[in-house]
Amino acid sequence: GAGVSQSPSNKVTEKGKDVELRCDPISGHTALYWYRQSLGQGLEFLIYFQGNSAPDKSGLPSDRFSAERTGGSVSTLTIQRTQQEDSAVYLCASSLGRASSYEQYFGPGTRLTVT
């Protein structure tokens, strides 16, 4: 079956512009995660959606970052007034649910470059 998909695969934007990154999780997966990975670094947790519960936004680095998940499926991560330090690969992952054993399946990522 289809895996997690993300779009666009690459995005180059000018400093100060807003960007939207999209994630389509695996069908039936109720949990969705966003991570950021800077060059040579580990994954930095950003936000986590689980079903209809309020999202865990504890990893969002500033109020310029926001995310929503419509209809329990597709998610959009929005970065307003982009800064050069926002340049990174943004990875989305989904899993079957909250149970601790459920592995996360990652999408291919969106490489964001802020010039």
Partner 1 sequence: GQNIDQPTEMTATEGAIVQINCTYQTSGFNGLFWYQQHAGEAPTFLSYNVLDGLEEKGRFSSFLSRSKGYSYLLLKELQMKDSASYLCAVRIQGGKLIFGQGTELSVKP
- Residues near partner 1 (CB under 8 A) are 31, 33, 35, 41-45, 48, 50, 56, 58-59, 91, 98, 100-101, 103-109
Closer residue to partner 1, CB minimum distance, 21 or 31: 31
Closest distance to partner 1 from the beta carbon of 81 (Å)? 26
Closer residue to partner 1, CB minimum distance, 42 or 71: 42
CB burial of 28-46 (b: ≥16 within 10 Å; e: otherwise) equals: ebbbbbbbbeeeeeeeeeb
Closest distance to partner 1 from the beta carbon of 46 (Å)? 10
Count CB-CB contacts under 10 A for residue 101: 7
Closest distance to partner 1 from the beta carbon of 54 (Å)? 11
Q: Exposed/middle/buried for 104, CB within 10 Å: 0-12, 13-18, 19+?
A: middle
